[in-house]
Amino acid sequence: MESERAEYARSVGLDPHRLPNHVAIIMDGNGRWAQQRGQRRVEGHSHGVTSVRTTIEECCRLGLSQLTLYCLSSENWKRPREELDFLLALLQEYLVSEREMLSRENIRFHVIGHRDGLGEAVLEEIRFNEELTRNNSGMGLCLAINYGARQEILDACKRLASQVVRGELSIGSIDEAAMSGALETAGMPDPDLLIRTAGEMRVSNFLLWQISYAEIWVTPCRWPEFDIGTLHMALRDYAGRERRFGGLAAPGGVA
């Protein structure tokens, strides 16, 4: 299977040895895509589901280890109630309709973010999919729903503080590994590549701890326009970068 994925990567012009391990995507521009076409904003969210599906399937074909999608931020609750209701109904429908794909592609499904306000119907489908795929061994798929990185970090600090109070942890033993283990993404590799659509130059409170050394790639195309070709462009650009993690460039490079 690994050789088949490597062969496929080469067939589309990608070096299988230069692919990121974990790709995180801020899916932006659904509403603007629809408004540009004289449609309601919610129509953009419906069309965006196709981009979600094709992106997940292509990442599986390429053999990536982890894909994280920013679906709904904690700040998105400021949007009109009609749009929020539509988003939650669309999410519930997606969680059911993509269940066959999760099993077929051997995907491990996980959701991060506060689950308050999502509604019992959505929560039931989330729990079902997480349990259904718990023992799968393929790509990890993480959906960030009602998620905010600042809140995630605060919650992690509270967990560590509680352990200290209970005598289970000493202050001196709190290091980066302990902090990472207290986050909702515990056990997941940090993103190597962060993709943002719609041309926005900000990270929007997304995985602030985890993306410390991620490469960032921004495209002007809006999420419903994001396709396999655009994903390949991001991966090729990533492959051409030198990741130094604060160190010096290789001999002949630029520090």
Q: Which domains does the chain have, with CATH numbers?
A: 22-239 (3.40.1180.10)
pLDDT one-digit tens code per residue, 199-230: 999 999 999 999 999 999 999 999 999 999 99
Mean of the per-residue pLDDT values of the chain: 94
205 is catalytic: no
Catalytic option among 15, 30, 76, 192: 76
pLDDT at residue 251 in the model: 59
Q: What does the pLDDT average to over 146-154?
A: 97
φ and ψ at 173, to 5 degrees?
-90, 0
What's the angle, vertex CA 217, arms to CA 18 and CA 227, rounded to 5?
85
- pTM score: 0.93
135 is catalytic: no
pLDDT one-digit tens code per residue, 97-117: 999 999 999 999 999 999 988
Cα–Cα distances in angstroms (integers) from residue 143 to residues 100, 164, 249, in the given order: 17, 30, 34
Catalytic option among 15, 21, 28, 190: 28
Tell me the C-alpha distance between 254 and 246, whole Å: 13
Cα–Cα distances in angstroms (integers) from residue 192 to residues 39, 165, 212, 242, in the given order: 35, 35, 9, 12
Q: For residue 255, what pLDDT band results from cuts at 50, 70 and 90? A: very low
Q: Which helix (H) or strand (E) holds 84?
A: helix 81-97
Q: For residue 2, what pLDDT band results from cuts at 50, 70 and 90? A: confident
